[in-house]
Structure 1
């Protein structure tokens, strides 16, 4: 998945866990291996499925 914030790609990775009732997902970021919590309720945040895992731009 790609995480877009304010119209820019901020992270790319695999969704490991989601909590739809809380509006959050955890992704494992490609390249760094960090596990990130993404709050989908934050203004300007959106997820997009990507075809190939690449490092964030």
Structure 2
């Protein structure tokens, strides 16, 4: 979860210090990412394979 938060933070979507908890701010940032990139393969707010692949590709593997 910390890695997800770091990646979202690099895109200025997650605010705060990465703490490894899937909390409200993390889910909001993830949903924002999915919506802004048109990702629909994973349920909104779910860090599924399609979202992970897109995020890793965008933030450097």
For normalisation by structure 1, the TM-score amounts to 0.26
| Higher helix fraction (1 or 2) | 2
Taking structure 2 as the reference length, what is the TM-score of the superposition?
Answer: 0.25
**Which one scores higher on RCO, CA 8 angstroms, separation ≥ 6?**
1
